[in-house]
Structure 1
Amino acid sequence: MNIHTAVIKNYLLILNFLFVLQLSGFQELQALQKATAKKDVVVLLHGLGRGKSIMEPLKKRLQDAGFFVINIGYKSIDRTPEQIMNDVSVQINAIRVDSNQTIHFAGHSLGGLVIRAYLDSNRVKNLGRVVLIGSPNKGTPFVDYFRDAWWLKLVGPAAASLGTDTKSFPRSLRPPYYPVGIIAGVSKTFDNEDFIPGEDDGVVPVESTKVEGMKDF
């Protein structure tokens, strides 16, 4: 065997090895996609001034329960609700699900309102349930009380839009046409009875988390 034949033989062996390696990786990817296609999808959205990392514990719990979870992040400081909606809509629209998959949504605080706004404008095929966690569906008197505070203005227009007036972001949303459940928390840490009536989580009254047509509370 001359040197040229040996080089060609070794080259062909390398190509064959790379092909087998690529095929193995492709088969693994196919297996992952096939397994994923059998799972229902849950889309998570965090709240105002937070990041997607805050939803990671919930993501892990849902994954352990057998769901395929997509944790969406978005900028909320110094942004309008419309800007946030545009950002989130692009990410949700990029999600592809099979005909046998159901897609659910869960959002904390502002994230829940963004989900409602998205579903107001978009009909999602195979839509399942929506869970709103501490979302100010009727607005919050916290924002009404501190509307002129410098720090609220610093947070931006999305925060300022969460009041209880009829022109607020929450009040602009239509009643849900889909199954929605509400989770509300209660905190005794803050002394805010002067401007938030009843039980609340420090920012949002329990009563304000309720929404017309809710299935669970």
Structure 2
Amino acid sequence: MKRMKWAVLVPALILVGCSKPEMDVTDTELNAHHAEQVVIVHGLARSAWSMQNMSKGIADQGYQVCVVDYPTIRQPIENTLEKSAEELSRCIAEFDTATHHATNQPKVHFVGHSLGGLVIRSYLAKHPEFVQSEQMGNVVFVGTPNHGSDVADFFSDTWMLSLVGGTAESLTTSPNSFPNQLPLPNYDFGVIAGTQSYPVFNGMFAKTNDGLVSVESTKLKGMKDFVEVDIKHDRLRRDPYVTELILNFLQTERFEN
């Protein structure tokens, strides 16, 4: 049984963790979007490099893009949040400088894949002054385990999850877990959930899921919009259709126009 769990855990961690959307954009729209920044945050066991397809697709539409890089493996959750917060603040500060002479009011949007969404929620909860400012834009959570992951539950009684580190251990569905201790967002946000699972993980879920996160876990009270896509968890961060949905929400607060 232990060997089986270990064989499943390794690919699970790898999975947690391309072309641009086919959208026409005018010079006027490019100039308007240039006064807007999109901060992108990767998930568990990933890096900024893993978000390159999404970041390119968004940048191609005229947005300034900053991709956060932060440690997640063999890290206590406190260190993960501290390092990611430093990077988030850096992105925002650099955008402030770059848009000092912009004609339009600068806006900062946030997009988080998987754990990245929780990192964004934690950061914004600790920066209410920014959330209440005119600079605050829209937020998109992509495959984010807002109520924890059944996969983390499956391995929670083994030494294997602790080997990965405290950040991974914090992602269970327990009422006291990191995701379930975060306050509800008080800003405009939308949620994208995948519905295509990995056969090897089917036994870990009782409901529809993307292989690592259940659809129900992604949902949060107060969502401006919600959409399900027939895509696996890892693919969400690099699928051009998902990027197109994100771009729609940033502009209209709706995923599909």
Q: Which residue is equivalent to 2:110?
A: 105
Q: Which residue is equivalent to 2:231?
A: none
> So what's the TM-score if we normalise by structure 2?
0.67
Instruction: Report 1:49-198 matches (<5 A).
Output: 49-94=45-90, 95-96=92-93, 97=96, 98=99, 100-123=105-128, 124=130, 125=133, 126-198=135-207
Question: Aligned partners of 2:155, 2:34: CA distance in 1, in Å?
Answer: 47
SS of the residue corresponding to residue 116 of structure 1 reads: helix
Question: Aligned partners of 1:38, 1:203: CA distance in 2, in Å?
Answer: 35
1:73-124 residue CA offsets vs partner (Å, 9 max, x unmatched): 0010011222111111112222322472100000111110000000011032
Q: 1:140 to 1:38 in 2, by over 3 A?
A: closer
SS of the residue corresponding to residue 171 of structure 1 reads: helix
* Structure showing greater relative contact order (alpha-carbon pairs closer than 8 Å, 6 or more residues apart): 2
Question: Aligned partners of 2:166, 2:67: CA distance in 1, in Å?
Answer: 24
Deviates further, 75-84 or 95-104: 95-104
SS of the residue corresponding to residue 78 of structure 2 reads: helix
1:59-81 residue CA offsets vs partner (Å, 9 max, x unmatched): 10001111000011001001122
Letter in 2 for 1:200: N
Structure 2 segments unaligned to the other structure (5+ residues)? 1-30, 227-257
> So what's the TM-score if we normalise by structure 1?
0.79
Question: Aligned partners of 1:53, 1:36: CA distance in 2, in Å?
Answer: 27
Aligned positions, number: 183
**Native 8 Å contact 1:145 1:195 kept in 2:** yes
**Native 8 Å contact 1:36 1:68 kept in 2:** no
Question: Aligned partners of 1:140, 1:188: CA distance in 2, in Å?
Answer: 13
Question: Aligned partners of 2:126, 2:139: CA distance in 1, in Å?
Answer: 15
CA radius of gyration, larger in: 1
**Native 8 Å contact 2:37 2:108 kept in 1:** yes
Structure 1 segments unaligned to the other structure (5+ residues)? 1-34
Identity of aligned residues (%): 39
Question: Aligned partners of 1:75, 1:56: CA distance in 2, in Å?
Answer: 17
SS of the residue corresponding to residue 110 of structure 2 reads: strand
Question: Aligned partners of 2:197, 2:52: CA distance in 1, in Å?
Answer: 26
Q: Give the C-alpha shift of residue 192 in structure 1.
A: 3.6
Deviates further, 83-92 or 52-61: 83-92
SS of the residue corresponding to residue 67 of structure 2 reads: strand
RMSD: 1.8
**Native 8 Å contact 1:37 1:101 kept in 2:** no
Instruction: Report 1:15-54 matches (<5 A).
Output: 38-54=34-50
SS of the residue corresponding to residue 167 of structure 2 reads: helix
Question: Aligned partners of 1:201, 1:53: CA distance in 2, in Å?
Answer: 22
